[in-house]
Amino acid sequence: MYSASDIAFYFLSKSIKDNSPVSNLKLQKLVYLACGFYGALAEKPLIDERIEAWPYGPVIRSLYFKYRDYGNKDIIMMDETFPKLPEFDEKATKALNFTWTVGKDLDAIRLSNWTHIEGSPWKTTVDKGDEVIPDALIFEYFKKFLKSQANEQVQANA
């Protein structure tokens, strides 16, 4: 497992390199998506913290408090302020790169709306009145999502 900060720093570093700004809300959703994609591939959590079901979506508490002062503005950091990131394992690298590729051009609201759809781990958890989204629920949901995307790709190329 990796720290939530390491995963956040990965996305913030990519945002600087690709000139694709990230707000606190967008960062939350990118880290959440990476956790889901990684969990679907590796069957274990990406980060060493639980993902909570807050009223407005899935949240990694430490990241929220670390970046909340930015509000809905872009997080501005200089590339030289980033710590040396760990060597991510192969599945983590795939999940992080995939998440960045599909999420970098989407705004925070679109990403947030996607996490709220019926049947999503956040929606299921909130409907049950629970506070923490179970890892197994995230893994299963993202496995189904990736499988449906693969099937759509195959059908599009047929």
Higher pLDDT, residue 157 or 16? 16
Task: Please answer whether residues 60 and 47 qualify as being in contact, where contact means their C-beta atoms are separated by less than 8 angstroms.
Answer: yes
pLDDT surpassing 70 at residue 133: yes
Lowest-confidence pick of 28-42, 73-87, 88-102, 144-158: 144-158
- Section 107-124 average pLDDT: 94
Question: Per-residue confidence at 152, pLDDT binned at 50, 70, 90?
Answer: low
- Whether 30 shows a pLDDT value over 80: the answer reads yes
- Kindly list the domain boundaries of the chain, sorted by start residue: 4-157
Place 65 in a pLDDT band, splitting at 50, 70 and 90: very high
Beta bridge partners of 53: 58
Report the distance separating Cα 88 and Cα 64, nearest Å.
23
Percentage of the chain with pLDDT > 70? 91
Question: What gap in Å lies between CA 31 and CA 96, rounded to an integer?
Answer: 9
